[in-house]
Amino acid sequence: MATKWEDVEITQAEDAKRYFQEMGCSHFHMAREYPAKYQQYQELRISKQLEYEWRLESIYRTKKKLLDAATANGDLWFMHSSAADLAEVQQSMEALQAVYEATKSIVHRLPHNDKVLVAETINGRKEIRYQDGLIFLSAKLNRRDIAAEFATVSLSLSQEAKKHHVDAARCDRAIAKCQAVQKKLNL
């Protein structure tokens, strides 16, 4: 259950950790949603290393939920996207590995409409020149093997979604983007 942050004083690391994680490990969201609480957070001078650990913990917690068969299939794409976003901020092999394992575990559980959403997360949602997404992250971390596997998963998800009459133009864009990323990275 989410905390009502208006009623909480952030005076110690435990409070700061809960606040940081509930705000998606995002300084932007902390500052936008609760500016006064963000000021309290900043006054604690939380180190980047501690934030790194908290972000990794959030990724592992999300991975656990993604691996749990009790998690509703309709929630998988959003949880996956959140974990992927954190992994991109984290830029670490541990984060990438956790998201990679979670991705492999959810592909067969995704509703058809959500398959293209996960493919877009894998490909990256920005223009290719910005090199976002899990394929590029894998390549940046010198894991071309994982980059190639992510590309294979993305293409498969997009093609399967299209086969099941999900927005064909969107599926085609996801396929074309994945192929362009593959070409750019020589995968």
pLDDT digits (tens, 9 = 90+) for 9-36: 899 999 999 999 999 999 999 999 999 9
pLDDT digits (tens, 9 = 90+) for 135-154: 999 999 999 999 999 999 99
Name residues whose C-beta falls within 8 Å of residue 62's C-beta, 6 or more positions apart in sequence: 79, 82, 83, 86, 102
Nearest to 181 by CA among 145, 140, 147: 147
How many Cβ atoms sit within 10 Å of the Cβ of residue 139?
20
Token representation of residue 141: 């971390």
pTM: 0.92
pLDDT digits (tens, 9 = 90+) for 87-99: 999 999 999 999 9
Nearest to 85 by CA among 128, 60, 121: 121
| pLDDT mean over 40-44 | 95
